[in-house]
Amino acid sequence: IKDAESLELAQKINAVVLDKTGTITEGKPVVNEMKWFHADSDKFKAILYSIEKQSEHPLAEAIVNYLASSNLSHPNDDLYLKGIQIENESGKGIRGIYEGENYFVGNLKFIQNQNLELNPGIQNWFDNELNQARTVILFSNSKEILAGISISDSIKNSSKQAIQKLQNSGIEVYMQTGDNESTAKSVAEQVGIKHFCAGVLPEDKVNFIKELQSQGKIVAMAGDGINDSAALAQSNVGIAMGKGSDIAIESAKMTI
């Protein structure tokens, strides 16, 4: 606990905003399937691995671990390509530049922003994974979608009980997540959250907290990622998960 003020404010909290990944869920995502839509997958696996290896996001870590464990033909070090430049697009994905070509790893909207569309085969696979409440990441270059990665993350055993305790105390609980609508709805239903919003960007989380504060609410925000840091700073009491990013911990008044 960083200061006395946050402790004094904590007893006045009447609204709590929760991030999903790593807060309600374990934050230990695993890859269920990596579906390649391009024949030359070995070359692109190394590019995907090298881009994600440079990211701190939990989903990136899951992809790196999956590629490393399934890559039987080469040692893991051979997968890593030097000279890839990356740019993080907060809340959307990551861009990599290798040998003059742009590569994109992120959500559907991020890929569509590159003027790429899902053909019927990719769309069917994508919809099927969403129907199973999984997080779906797409990997493309500037011309075509190369692969789809479906990822799942289990809910913490304590989440439902903790949320119920907050609600029983008269505290409103909201979930804000950058994940897709299907996965967000499934998680919200399982833990008993009625108010949730999916596909939000970091600035959307900040604006939502400002909106609650304009209604006179004392707002706590709990999160663990870089994408949560601005919202943690905006809230009356920011609460960071101790296993989260350094930026989230720095932005929060309290760390669990």
The answer for 99, left when phi > 0, alpha when psi is -120 to 50, beta otherwise, is: left
Residues annotated as catalytic (active site), given as ranges:
19
Contact (CB, 8 A) for 92 and 201: yes
Burial status of residue 233 (CB atoms within 10 A of its CB: 0-12, 13-18, 19 or more): middle
Helical ranges in the chain per DSSP H = 4-10, 41-52, 58-70, 76-79, 108-112, 120-131, 159-168, 181-191, 202-214, 229-234, 246-251
> Rounded to the nearest 10 degrees, what angle do helices 58-70 and 41-52 cross at?
140
Q: 232: Cβ–Cβ under 8 A, 6 or more apart, which residues?
A: 221, 223, 238, 239, 240, 248, 251, 252
Contact (CB, 8 A) for 240 and 232: yes
Contact (CB, 8 A) for 96 and 63: no
The CA distance from 251 to 247, in Å, is 6
Per DSSP, the three-state class of 93 is: strand
Phi, psi of 33 (to 5 degrees): -155, 145
**Residue 196, token pair as written in the block:** 């949730």
Q: How many residues does the chain have?
A: 256
